[in-house]
Structure 1
């Protein structure tokens, strides 16, 4: 993947419109930008008013800007498909007067997420495909002899209503097909255009992006499916493969689950190599901060798939500030220099990402960076609700989005010790291999391995309840330090108090229990190998757990929005670490898993420094708690507002209860910021370094209420 450089231009930091278009508004030969109530004349982007856009309950009613000459007068108009007004209208270009643009109603079908233009009926004319939330229809474009356009509503199967829609030739028969979260829909070549046949061959997430992209990702000659979670975590693709005996089979792959809220996707050739890349950006507070990861900084990324390695490579285009993708971003050669640029609208600003091409040196002005070494650290005395802008400047965290930046700093500071969280380049196909399947009490137990990275496979047990007629909640069950590894939590030996995977499976949870090297069947893993891409065993375990979540999400039996991570001791702190980095985990339980570094054996951190944990604590931070760039109260806060269950016995000689209480006290203000203080739940039993039966039962009841 060639690394490109982009320069970010802020065209209007006060823009609150979520859609844009690129076309020559004034016919001067230079592309202009249309965005809501304004258009911007290229190349200097002088702003002019278009119209007064209605504001409905705090959002401007302009959810798409689709350029098309509707009335045949030679001037480009704009189609807008909208949610809060439940309407579809077109905005008429005023012509050479460049006066006020007039709004013309097409239909009021109901709320729509947004819309896109496709030639659905194959007549050579662009048709309108809205993403209706409670209706499903498309609008056929009809052009009369004078060139004027009318729009004829065509009904679609009701199952296509919802969140996410796309169009493309899925089966390669030369006819366009529709794609939605519940599958794809085709029309035989000789059938009327309203007789769509449901092909329920896959099921995507319920909150898919607009569009769902139909594209031959792996260049094998058939079309695959790409989508993101518009109001949740992750980008994904569904690989089309030939099935034995004919037909198709579909295999789900995760692309990137390190960020959220990618409501809109683009597919374009940014580097000019003839292969299209995936471009994705984060939406600004689509649901006011209520969605997972919504408050994290805005980002824009480009992704390119390598068919030879079968992995995606990622490049950051923009980080932070006001630049992201809301509902309708665009790509075009805006500056007429021969390459593709990106126009990025959000409710907090309008930006142009100028493609500078492959540069021997990065530009110094507005250079986009995300360098972990540039992240400022915090003293133990600093409040959790402050954010450091420079080594000597702290500002208060007053909003949830303020906290999103502070949370980002916490993760980067964790990476200073643990090493960077691997990116898409390490995310090889899971290639799950089942070695054995057995029937247990109320569930099936599968012994399997899955690929974590190009060089390593993780041994695990998968426990599947007998009744999976409805999607079941899932649990990532991490074992304590013990030679049996995963077997102990599955009830196959050792202390029965740690058989929480077995017990949860009997309660109806799908449970995945991976080994932590060198325990269980993972005893041949060598942390000292020079070629492994991890600087700590902790990050290796986190990545193995991230891939375990990929496995659970790919199972049709799993309710993808109800995944918990839990563990005791070794599994306890790794549950926290994994949940901080991967927000697909919706609840966490940690038993005897942590204490403040200053309270760990009176500040003696040697127990954390073996190769299988975090050796940099010794080599980079001198075993000194006051030199550590993160502590456990910051990890707890990074998980907020998700529910956390903490069991910290008074007799735990490994993890001092007093340090747990201190960490909880210091993290609590962040949960309070989210009005979720009750989600930081603690129990302090009279016990040793153990997980008593009474606490497990209390956790199970808590989990049923909080997941």
Structure 2
């Protein structure tokens, strides 16, 4: 066999058969337990956990919310800059959301800010300012700067000054030399962000949700699968199959978790969120996460939620759009889930 295409197709089929045989030999509960443990292992990072030691960097009172810039510790000496968006009004025991941005210029992009930190008075881009939209609906919103984006790029990328650039390729490649998956580091930092969020006196730790777009959807999906503190999750422009999305078109290297297809296809991993609330949003013309395989993922999730007798906790909105945040149904759904939990 000279052709790598045929080889790769055969490899996918052989791993699909292996996964099928494993499932046949165990109960549904045993499968879920095994998948969660293996996903936990795949995303683990061999770094010491740091104390949070949060520090307030900035506090700005705006017309409809308060914006704080904070930092907190995660692993191996890393500290995460993040925005905390606080609604006006009573602030104790509020529902809260971990908002994870996708590829772009970082935490500012979903917080109503331009790359230089000034307020964006123009039309939102494909991210849709979803952190801003959520705080305006009464939720406390934590927006961490994802490792490799915005202020957390490598020095060479920061000095190049290209707006929206990232350090994903170099970070992912170099981290693999240490056996650390970039996706794993980002997910573990998201879990530390939850730790920080739970310390805020404004937040009810029993009512925390997550909203992730695109690459932020990956972080949000895996963090939600691993941590039951996340009561409700919105995945925008992400839910699909590995075969139909990251194996179908060229994707950023940060989407690839070593050994993932030996564990499960993507819908099975997302299904670990069940029976907790989950909302899937996707544009019908999204070229990166195609609708045809997104529908296959949704059908799998519908079966999973039916098995868990939690059909009412799964929401889906396939809208006429591209790779973008819509929010028309997702925003009110998330508010309802967290306020009525």
- Conservation of the 8 A alpha-carbon contact between 1:413 and 1:630: no
What's the offset of the Cα at 1:382? 6.2
CA distance, structure 2, for counterparts of residue 613 and residue 409 of structure 1: 22
Equivalent position of 1:582 in the other structure:
227
- C-alpha spacing 1:378/1:638, structure 2 compared with 1 (3 Å): farther
- C-alpha spacing 1:534/1:477, structure 2 compared with 1 (3 Å): farther
Name which structure has the greater RCO, CA cutoff 8 Å, separation 6+: 2
What's the offset of the Cα at 1:555? 1.1
Equivalent position of 2:282 in the other structure:
648
Task: Give the counterpart of 1:674 among 308, 314, 326.
Answer: 308
Task: Give the counterpart of 1:458 among 80, 94, 103.
Answer: 80
Matched, 1:607 2:254: no
- C-alpha spacing 1:673/1:451, structure 2 compared with 1 (3 Å): same
CA distance, structure 1, for counterparts of residue 63 and residue 33 of structure 2: 43
What's the offset of the Cα at 1:396? 3.7
Matches within 5 A, 1:240-251: none
What's the offset of the Cα at 1:628? 4.2
- C-alpha spacing 1:686/1:469, structure 2 compared with 1 (3 Å): closer
Matched, 1:411 2:36: yes
CA distance, structure 2, for counterparts of residue 704 and residue 535 of structure 1: 35
* 1:562 aligned counterpart, secondary structure: strand
- Conservation of the 8 A alpha-carbon contact between 2:99 and 2:212: yes
Task: Give the counterpart of 1:630 among 246, 264, 269.
Answer: 264
Equivalent position of 1:420 in the other structure:
44
What's the offset of the Cα at 1:454? 2.8
* 2:134 aligned counterpart, secondary structure: helix
What's the offset of the Cα at 1:561? 0.9
* 2:244 aligned counterpart, secondary structure: helix
What's the offset of the Cα at 1:565? 0.5
- C-alpha spacing 1:589/1:545, structure 2 compared with 1 (3 Å): same
Question: Going by fraction, where is helix more abundant, 1 or 2?
Answer: 2
Question: Going by fraction, where is strand more abundant, 1 or 2?
Answer: 1
Matched, 1:511 2:141: yes
CA distance, structure 2, for counterparts of residue 536 and residue 665 of structure 1: 29
Once the two structures are superposed, what CA deviation does each residue of 1:302-357 show, in whole Å capped at 9, x if it has no partner?
Answer: xxxxxxxxxxxxxxxxxxxxxxxxxxxxxxxxxxxxxxxxxxxxxxxxxxxxxxxx
- Conservation of the 8 A alpha-carbon contact between 1:419 and 1:534: no
Equivalent position of 1:639 in the other structure:
273
Question: Which has the higher Rg, Structure 1 or Structure 2?
Answer: 1
Task: Give the counterpart of 2:112 among 465, 481, 491.
Answer: 491
What's the offset of the Cα at 1:500? 1.1
What's the offset of the Cα at 1:594? 3.1
Give the aligned length.
Answer: 301
CA distance, structure 2, for counterparts of residue 691 and residue 704 of structure 1: 16
- Conservation of the 8 A alpha-carbon contact between 1:636 and 1:664: no
Once the two structures are superposed, what CA deviation does each residue of 1:564-596 show, in whole Å capped at 9, x if it has no partner?
Answer: 100211112221111011111000101111311
CA distance, structure 2, for counterparts of residue 534 and residue 554 of structure 1: 31
- C-alpha spacing 1:604/1:670, structure 2 compared with 1 (3 Å): closer
For the aligned residue pairs, the C-alpha RMSD in angstroms reads 2.8
- Give the TM-score of the pair, scaled to structure 1: 0.40
- Conservation of the 8 A alpha-carbon contact between 1:498 and 1:568: no
- C-alpha spacing 1:613/1:395, structure 2 compared with 1 (3 Å): closer
- Give the TM-score of the pair, scaled to structure 2: 0.79
CA distance, structure 1, for counterparts of residue 178 and residue 290 of structure 2: 33
Matches within 5 A, 1:561-600: 561-600=206-245
CA distance, structure 2, for counterparts of residue 470 and residue 669 of structure 1: 38
What's the offset of the Cα at 1:607? 2.1
Task: Give the counterpart of 1:546 among 191, 196, 208.
Answer: 191
CA distance, structure 2, for counterparts of residue 548 and residue 688 of structure 1: 29
CA distance, structure 1, for counterparts of residue 85 and residue 179 of structure 2: 29
Equivalent position of 2:25 in the other structure:
394
* 2:243 aligned counterpart, secondary structure: helix
